[in-house]
């Protein structure tokens, strides 16, 4: 048994040595073939180039795959530079309009002043930073403020009347139970 494995191993060694000679011979001929191809590459027609590519096993029409660009640094920590303010509150605070609105802006929008301004300017989020509010919009704000004040007075009057009426009914019930 040892004799047959030794013979099979020696046969395999001979086969591998023959393959090695062929590879060395081919490696010596490849640079010559490349030199010939480079010499005639300029005069080959597109059809001939496709034939050569077919022989090599590549496709000519395909674009070469590029290596991805190396990142210059982490994107999360990079600085973008300053951006001009897009919105300015009457208090003087500014916001560029990027990202979440600052707390001061959201609080101002929920305040009475912010609500009246948004009613007067339905197409804008916040007051623009490019200058003071124009006279026409200032007049509209005053007008809306008056309307809101009247509505709130009427609302409080209704609440008072409603609560007063319920108190008297409650008093009547208390007196009748005695």
CA torsion 165-169-170-176 (nearest 10°) is 160
How far is residue 108's CA from residue 104's CA, in Å, rounded to a whole number?
6
**pLDDT bracket for residue 102 (50, 70, 90):** very high
Residue 62 pLDDT greater than 50, yes or no: yes
Q: In the prediction, which pLDDT does 135 show? A: 44
In this structure, what DSSP letter does residue 11 have? H
For 94, the 3-state DSSP assignment is strand
In which band, very low, low, confident or very high, does the pLDDT at 6 lie, cut at 50, 70 and 90? Answer: confident
**pTM reported for the whole predicted model:** 0.33
Within a 10 A sphere around the Cβ of 88, how many other Cβ atoms? 18
pLDDT (tens digit per residue) in 109-121: 999 999 999 899 8
Which pLDDT value is given to residue 107?
A: 93
Domain spans, the chain: 2-56, 87-170
Tell me how far apart the alpha carbons of residues 87 and 96 are, in angstroms, rounded to a whole number: 6
């Amino acid at each position: 048994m040892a004799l047959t494995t030794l013979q099979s191993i020696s046969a395999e060694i001979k086969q591998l040595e023959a393959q090695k000679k062929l590879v060395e011979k081919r490696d010596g001929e490849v640079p010559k073939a490349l030199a010939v191809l480079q010499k005639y590459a300029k005069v080959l027609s597109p059809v001939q180039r496709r034939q050569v590519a077919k022989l090599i096993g590549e496709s000519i029409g395909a674009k070469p795959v590029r290596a991805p660009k190396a990142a210059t640094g982490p994107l999360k920590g990079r600085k973008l530079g300053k951006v001009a303010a897009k919105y300015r509150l009457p208090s003087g605070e500014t916001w560029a309009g990027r990202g979440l609105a600052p707390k001061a802006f959201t609080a101002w929008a929920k305040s009475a002043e912010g609500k009246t301004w948004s009613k007067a300017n339905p197409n804008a989020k916040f007051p623009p930073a490019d200058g003071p509010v124009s006279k026409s919009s200032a007049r509209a704000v005053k007008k809306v403020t008056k309307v809101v004040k009247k509505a709130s007075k009427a609302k409080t009057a209704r609440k008072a009347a409603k609560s007063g009426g319920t108190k008297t009914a409650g008093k009547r019930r208390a007196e009748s139970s005695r």
